[in-house]
Chain A
Amino acid sequence: MKQTGIEITITCPTDLPAVHFVDMISRQILHYMNHQRKQEISFALHEVLINAYEAVRGEYGEEGVFAPLTVTLCIEEEEITVFVADRAQGIGSSVIMDVQSKSFEDVVWEERSRGLLFIDHLVDEWGSSKDDKGAHVFMFKVRGR
């Protein structure tokens, strides 16, 4: 089996200091790589992380901090794929349909509802699923070097 890229996995508690730590580490990695879309990837990853944090806190409250949050960066020559696995229930189909049917203009005077729209605009592909351990996994992919 050939290993063609680099895979970096960070597992941490689902709390804000850890979220900011992952933000910082991923920015450093992308900066080191001088990836042409590093700012878009960092912005999108941050949005995924705060969505995960809010979802876990919404379901488990303060105990949510003990739930593992796993972030994996898969760096290949022509694309970067990011996986964020959390212990919340995941994104409902109605939320996904909302993102597909709404534009930024529709929510321009709203305080919320922009996070997934940004992800949708900034990355080339994204999706949400469950892994074999029951964790919710949000994936996005960005092409280019």
Chain B
Amino acid sequence: MAIRVFEGAAEKPDVQVEVGMVGNYQKIEFSGQLIYGQTEKAKQIILDNIREAKGYFFDVRNLSSIDSTGLGMLVTIARRLKNTDSRIAVIVEEGMMKEIFTMAKFHLIFSMVSSEAEGVRLFEGGSRPNLTLDEY
């Protein structure tokens, strides 16, 4: 039997997801680590709480880390929401997190904004992403 020496480690990865409304838009706020081993939990919380809205925000400002599986989960949620023809904006601050989103070309499928207010202005202005799922 393997010795579980790491089970009591001080820094265990965890993700928290808060879902709420900002006017006509639903905001999904992540904090902690959206990484391998945590994405299923996050996805289930979102799917259980998602409501029909004019648009959605993925707020990742309080995430300390994300990996390829976390990014993939955001795409999975976006594919589900695509059926409602709603717009999605990612709220992200400058830094490594934004670099990762940009490297992954997420600006082609999501609007990238730095605040809710900027996102609302963008939605109200009718902005659309460059590459929709239908065009992909």
Contacts and interface: CB of A to CB of B under 8 A. Distances in A.
A in complex with B: yes
Interface of A: 12-13, 15-21, 24, 39, 43, 46-47, 50, 53, 65-66, 103-105, 108-112, 114-115, 118, 121
A114 B36 contact: no
B136 to A, nearest CB: 4
Contacts of B7: 17
A65 B2 CA distance: 8
Given A110-B72, A111-B72, A105 B6 contact: no
A137 B12 CA distance: 27
B24 interface: no
B68 A114 contact: yes
Interface centre among B7, B36, B75, B79 (most CB of A within 10 A): B36
A39 B72 contact: no
B121 interface: no
Closest 4 CB pairs of A and B: A17-B6, A111-B72, A114-B68, A104-B105
Interface string B64-99: 000111011101100100000000000000001000
Nearest to B106: A108
A79 B7 CA distance: 33
A101 to B, nearest CB: 16
Contacts of B13: 20
Contacts of B67: 43, 46-47, 50, 115
What is the size category of the interface that chain B forms with chain A? 20 to 34
A105 B9 contact: no
B9 A17 contact: yes
B100 A43 contact: yes
A109 B81 CA distance: 13
B8 to A, nearest CB: 9
Given A20-B6, A47-B68, A105 B108 contact: yes
5 contacts: A19-B36, A20-B11, A108-B109, A111-B76, A112-B72
Given A17-B12, A46-B67, 9 more contacts: A20-B37, A24-B9, A50-B68, A53-B36, A108-B104, A109-B75, A109-B133, A110-B72, A114-B104
B22 interface: no
Contact of B105 (A47, A108, A111, A112): A108
A142 to B, nearest CB: 15
Contact of B69 (A13, A50, A103, A105): A50
A53 B13 CA distance: 16
Nearest to A21: B6
